[in-house]
Amino acid sequence: MRDVKAIVLRAAGINCDLETQHAFELAGAEADRVHINRIIEDKSLLDNYQILVIPGGFSYGDDVAAGKILANQIKHHLYEQVRKFIDAGKLVLGICNGFQVLVKTGILPFPETTGQAVTVTYNDSNKFEDRWVYLAPVTERCVFIEKGRQIYLPIAHGEGKVVTKDQQTLEKLKADGFIAFKYVDENGNEGDYPINPNGSFESIAGLTDSTGRVLGLMPHPERHVRFTQHPRWTRLKTQDHRPQTTDAPSVSSGQGDGITIFNNAVKYAQANL
pLDDT in tens, 117-156: 999 999 999 999 999 999 999 999 999 999 999 999 999 9
Selection from 250, 10, 32, 258 nearest residue 134 by Cα: 258
Instruction: Measure the CA–CA gap between 67 and 207, rounded to whole angstroms.
Output: 16
Alpha carbon distance 224, 220 (integer Å) = 7
Name the residues annotated as catalytic. Answer: 96, 220, 222
- Rounded to an integer, what is the distance from CA 40 to the centroid of its chain? 23
- pLDDT band for 243, please (50, 70, 90 cuts): very low
CB-CB contact of 45 with 6 (8 Å): no
Query: Which residue type does 242 have?
Result: R
Query: In this predicted model, what pLDDT tens digit does every residue of 40-87 receive, in sequence order?
Result: 999 999 999 999 999 999 999 998 899 999 999 999 999 999 999 999
Domains along the chain with CATH numbers: 5-226+257-272 (3.40.50.880)
